Chains A and B, each alone.
Chain A
C-alpha cells in the first residue's frame, strides 16, 4: 500500500531541522518502513480493544506531602545556559 508522507511537515512537528537532502533520504526510508508497517491494516480488528500497556494500569498516587526534591543548583549546573535560578532560552514571543 503506498503511503503518503509530507516529510517537511513531519520534521517540523518533530522539531528537527533537516536539510533538503536529509529530508529526501528520510522520506525514502520512511516509505519502505511504513509500507511494511502498514501490514497491520490487513488484520481484522473489529471489536478488538487496543492495548496501550502490558499491565492493567491504575493511577499510582502518593500522599500530598512535601518531600525533598533534586538540588536546584545541581540541576541547573547541567543547563547549557542559565541566568540565576532560571534556564535561559532565546525569545519565544515575537516583538
Chain B
C-alpha cells in the first residue's frame, strides 16, 4: 500500500514500528501531489523546504525518544485563511497577494507543537465565501472523484487534498458548512467543533460569530486526533471557551444501542436528491438495527435559518473585511486621496462574490434597514437556537444529509448565487447555534459520487457526536476511493 493512503493512526503505528519515517510520509504526499495537482489544484502553496526540515526534525526527535504523540511526523495541510509566519497566506484573494504574515495562527502553533509537518496551504473560495471553491482568484480546485465537478467549498482544497492523499489530514474553516459540505462532496470526514473550542486567533475572519476551525480527515479516529491537538483555551482569542474540555473519545466504540437519534424533518425530505435521500435513509435504518431509538423531530425555524444567515454572515463580513484597504499589507492601487486609493484597491482586489457579500452586509447594517434586516435576523437566530434546545431535550443527537446533492458540475451554479447558497441549507443551522457537527461518507450515488451523512450534537456534545459517527463509519464500511487517488488515475 502506498503510504499516502494510510490514515494518521496507521501511519503513526508504522512510524513507531520503524517501518516508515516522517521523511517517507512526506515523500509519499509529495509524490501524490506531483501526480494530481496539475488536475486538482488543491494547493496554493507547497512549503517544500519547511516541510522537509520539519520531517527531518520529527525523525530526529523520535530517535531521541521525544515522541509528541499521534500527530508526530504526520504531513498535514492548512486552508490558506490561517496565517503562517513567513509563508504566503492569501485567502485566495488578489488583495492579499504576496502577504507573508509576521506570526502563526494558534492552531498552526499547536499542530507544530504536536510534531505535525505543515506541508502546504490549500485553495479555498476567496475569504472562505462560497460552496464550490470556484471563487478563488487563483483558479478553482477540482473534485478528485470527477474533475469536471466541484469539490465543494469553501474548504475544497483541504478536502480534495485529504481525499486524494496529498495530505494525511487538513484544517478547514466552517462558517456555514465550509468543512462539512466539501467533506461530503469528496468522501472525507469533516467536523466543526463547538464554537469557541478551537481558537480563531490567526484565522482571517469572515463572520466572527459563526467561523470555526476544524479537521478534515479520512477517518473518525483521525478527526478526534486532530481536534484534540488544536482544541483548548487561548488567551489570544477573546471568544475562546474557558470551561472544561470534554474527552472527545470517551465513548467512542460504545455503539448506538439505547441512544436517541432525531431525524430533522425540515432537512431530510423536500429538496434532497433521490440518491442522497436513499443513502441517508439506509444509514438511519442501520442505526435502528444497531439499537438506536430513531424519531422524527421538527425544527420549524430552520426554514428561515438560511435567510437569517445570508444577512448575519455578510454583515459581519462587511465589518471584518474593512481592514483590507491597501494601507498595511497587500497590493495597493493609486488614488489622489485615501478614500480613492481604498475604493480603487478594494474594487480591484476583491472578486465578485466577496464584493457581493460586502455590499449585502453594508446594506443590511445601514441606517433605515438595520432593524428590518440585521436586527430581525438576529432574533431569528434566537428562534433557531431555541428549536435546537427543545430538540435536544428529546434526543441525544440529530442527523441529516450533509448536502442536498452530491458534487455538482463546475460552473453550474456560478451565475445563480441563490442556488449556490442553497448548497449549505443542511449545515447552516448549527453555525447559527454554535453547536458541533460532523459529516462522514455514507455511500455513493448512481454516478459514483460520495454522499455525506451529518451528525449534530448540543454544545460540548463532541463525545456523543463522535460516538454516533464512529458507529456510522463501522455500519456503512465506506471504503471507495476517488479515481484520482488510484495509481492509474494519478499517473
Contact = CB atoms under 8 A, between A and B. Distances in A.
A42 B338 CA distance: 42
A47 to B, nearest CB: 9
Interface residues of B, number: 73
Given A45-B376, A54-B195, A78-B102, A16 B346 contact: yes
A48 B360 CA distance: 24
Given A15-B342, A43-B380, A34 B360 contact: yes
Given A36-B307, A41-B372, A90-B336, A53 B359 contact: no
B332 interface: yes
A60 B301 CA distance: 32
A30 interface: yes
Contacts of B417: 29, 32-33
A89 B339 CA distance: 10
Contact of B379 (A33, A50, A91, A92): A50
Given A17-B344, A30-B359, A49-B379, A89 B327 contact: yes
Contact of A52 (B100, B238, B376, B378): B378
Nearest to B331: A80
B103 interface: yes
Contacts of B359: 7, 10-11, 14, 16, 26, 30
Interface stretch (B42-50, B381-389, B392-400): B381-389
B363 interface: yes
B311 interface: yes
Contacts of B240: 60
A14 B337 contact: no
A80 B240 CA distance: 33
Contacts of B343: 12, 15-17
B325 to A, nearest CB: 7
A52 B209 contact: yes
B209 A43 contact: no
A61 to B, nearest CB: 9
Nearest to A76: B328
Interface residues of B: mostly helix, strand, loop or mixed? helix
Contacts of A74: 102
Contact of B99 (A12, A29, A78): A78
A41 B374 CA distance: 10
Interface string A42-74: 110100111111110101101000000011001
Interface stretch (B61-69, B155-163, B170-178, B350-358): B350-358
A38 interface: yes
A55 B239 contact: yes
B34 interface: no
A65 B417 CA distance: 48
A51 B432 CA distance: 9
A87 B434 CA distance: 38
Contacts of A54: 195-196, 209, 385, 432-435, 459
A90 B360 contact: no
Contact of A37 (B328, B329, B373, B385): B373
Contacts of A90: 334-338, 340-341
Contacts of B100: 77-78
9 contacts: A10-B362, A15-B322, A40-B307, A48-B383, A59-B238, A60-B238, A78-B100, A87-B327, A89-B327
**Closest 9 interchain pairs by CB?**
A54-B434, A50-B378, A17-B343, A80-B332, A60-B238, A45-B379, A92-B338, A78-B329, A74-B102
Interface of A: 5, 7, 9-18, 22, 26, 29-30, 32-34, 36-43, 45, 48-55, 57, 59-60, 62, 70-71, 74-75, 77-81, 87, 89-92
Given A40-B380, A53-B209, A92-B337, 6 more contacts: A5-B363, A34-B363, A40-B308, A48-B382, A59-B238, A92-B339
